[in-house]
Amino acid sequence: MDLKVNGFAMAGGDDIQSYTKNSSYQRAVMDAAKLLVQNSIADHINDPPLATFRVADLGCSVGPNTFIAVDNILDSVKLKYRRKTDKIPEFQVYFNDHILNDFNTLFKSLPPNRDYYSSAVPGSFYTRLFPRGSLHVIHSSTSLHWLSQVPIEITDPNSPAYNKGRIHYAGAGPEVVDAYARQHATDFSRFLQARAEELVAGGLLMLYIPARPNGVPHSDEPFVTMNDRMGTCLMDLAKKGVIDENKVDTFNLPEYFATPDEFEEIIKSNGRFVIERMEKLPTANASYNPVSAADVSRGVRAVMAGLVGGHFGHEILDDVFSLFEQKQIEANDHKPGSELNLFILLKLNQDIAAAM
Amino acid sequence: MDLKVNGFAMAGGDDIQSYTKNSSYQRAVMDAAKLLVQNSIADHINDPPLATFRVADLGCSVGPNTFIAVDNILDSVKLKYRRKTDKIPEFQVYFNDHILNDFNTLFKSLPPNRDYYSSAVPGSFYTRLFPRGSLHVIHSSTSLHWLSQVPIEITDPNSPAYNKGRIHYAGAGPEVVDAYARQHATDFSRFLQARAEELVAGGLLMLYIPARPNGVPHSDEPFVTMNDRMGTCLMDLAKKGVIDENKVDTFNLPEYFATPDEFEEIIKSNGRFVIERMEKLPTANASYNPVSAADVSRGVRAVMAGLVGGHFGHEILDDVFSLFEQKQIEANDHKPGSELNLFILLKLNQDIAAAM
Task: Report ipTM for this prediction.
Answer: 0.89
A107 closest CB neighbour out of B94, B103, B134: B103
pLDDT score of A50 = 77
How close, in Å, is residue A6 to chain B by CA atoms?
9
> Is residue B119 less than 8 Å (CB to CB) from chain A?
yes
B83 versus B146: the higher-pLDDT residue is B146
Is A108's CB within 8 Å of B94's CB? no
Q: How many CB atoms lie within 10 A of CB A87?
A: 8
Q: Which phi and psi (to 5°) does residue B261 adopt?
A: -60, -40
Q: Is the pLDDT of residue A238 over 80?
A: yes
- Cα separation, A250 vs A245, in Å, equals 9
Average pLDDT over residues B205-214: 96
pLDDT score of A22 = 75
Most distant CA pair in chain A: distance in Å? 68
Predicted confidence band of residue B4 (pLDDT cuts 50, 70, 90): very low
Give pTM, 2 decimals.
Answer: 0.91
Is B117's CB within 8 Å of A103's CB? no
A120 closest CB neighbour out of B52, B117, B120: B120
pLDDT score of A2 = 35
Is A52's CB within 8 Å of B134's CB? yes
The candidate with the shortest Cα–Cα distance to A28, out of A209, A288, A280, A222, is A288
Q: Is the pLDDT of residue B99 over 90?
A: yes
Chain centre distance of CA A278 = 16
b/e map of A338-352 (b: 16 or more CB within 10 Å)?
A: ebbbbbbbbbbbeee
- Best A55, A119, A134 residue to mutate vs chain B (most B CBs within 10 Å): A119
A314 versus A50: the higher-pLDDT residue is A314
How close, in Å, is residue B127 to chain A by CA atoms?
11
> Is residue B291 less than 8 Å (CB to CB) from chain A?
no
Residues of B in contact with A120 (CB under 8 A): 103, 107, 119-122
pLDDT score of B3 = 37
Q: Is the pLDDT of residue B353 over 90?
A: no
Residues of A in contact with B131 (CB under 8 A): 51-52, 90-92, 117
- Best B117, B128, B130 residue to mutate vs chain A (most A CBs within 10 Å): B117
Direct distance between the N- and C-terminal alpha carbons of chain A, in angstroms, rounded to an integer: 38
Is B99's CB within 8 Å of A108's CB? yes
Q: Is the pLDDT of residue A346 over 60?
A: yes
Average pLDDT over residues A269-273: 97
Average pLDDT over residues A283-288: 56
Portion 215-274 of A in contact with B at CB < 8 A: none
Q: Is the pLDDT of residue A323 over 50?
A: yes
How close, in Å, is residue A127 to chain B by CA atoms?
11
**Residues whose CB is less than 8 angstroms from the CB of residue A182 and which lie 6 or more positions away in sequence, other chains included:** A151
- A261-270, B18-27, B130-139: lowest mean pLDDT where? B18-27
Q: Which phi and psi (to 5°) does residue B95 adopt?
A: -100, 120
- Best B104, B116, B132, B200 residue to mutate vs chain A (most A CBs within 10 Å): B104
- Best A54, A117, A132, A195 residue to mutate vs chain B (most B CBs within 10 Å): A117
The candidate with the shortest Cα–Cα distance to A30, out of A285, A296, A289, A297, is A285
Q: Is the pLDDT of residue B335 over 90?
A: no
If DSSP codes are grouped into helix, strand and coil, which group holds residue B320? helix
- Cα separation, B351 vs B274, in Å, equals 10
Is B99's CB within 8 Å of A107's CB? yes
- Best B107, B110, B116, B121 residue to mutate vs chain A (most A CBs within 10 Å): B107
How close, in Å, is residue A294 to chain B by CA atoms?
31
Portion 42-71 of B in contact with A at CB < 8 A: 51-52
pLDDT score of B51 = 84
pLDDT in tens, B240-279: 999 999 899 889 999 999 999 999 999 999 999 999 999 9
Is B132's CB within 8 Å of A103's CB? no
Residues of B in contact with A104 (CB under 8 A): 102-104
Residues of A in contact with B115 (CB under 8 A): none
Average pLDDT over residues B214-234: 92
B14 versus A158: the higher-pLDDT residue is A158
Predicted confidence band of residue B354 (pLDDT cuts 50, 70, 90): low
Q: Is the pLDDT of residue B66 over 70?
A: yes
If DSSP codes are grouped into helix, strand and coil, which group holds residue A67? helix
What DSSP designation does A126 have? T
Is B51's CB within 8 Å of A121's CB? no
A334 versus A284: the higher-pLDDT residue is A334
B131 closest CB neighbour out of A51, A99, A133: A51
pLDDT score of A283 = 62
Average pLDDT over residues A258-264: 98
Residues of B in contact with A122 (CB under 8 A): 107, 110, 118, 120
Direct distance between the N- and C-terminal alpha carbons of chain B, in angstroms, rounded to an integer: 38
Query: Under the phi-then-psi rule, with left for phi > 0, alpha for psi from -120 to 50, and beta for the rest, what region is A57?
Result: beta
The mean of the pLDDT values for chain A is 89
If DSSP codes are grouped into helix, strand and coil, which group holds residue A108? helix
Average pLDDT over residues B222-233: 92
How close, in Å, is residue B263 to chain A by CA atoms?
28
Predicted confidence band of residue B336 (pLDDT cuts 50, 70, 90): low
The mean of the pLDDT values for chain B is 89
Q: How many CB atoms lie within 10 A of CB A131?
A: 20
A26 close to A142: Cβ distance less than 8 angstroms: yes
> Is residue B102 less than 8 Å (CB to CB) from chain A?
yes
A51 versus A172: the higher-pLDDT residue is A172
pLDDT in tens, A64-101: 889 999 999 999 999 999 888 888 899 999 999 999 99
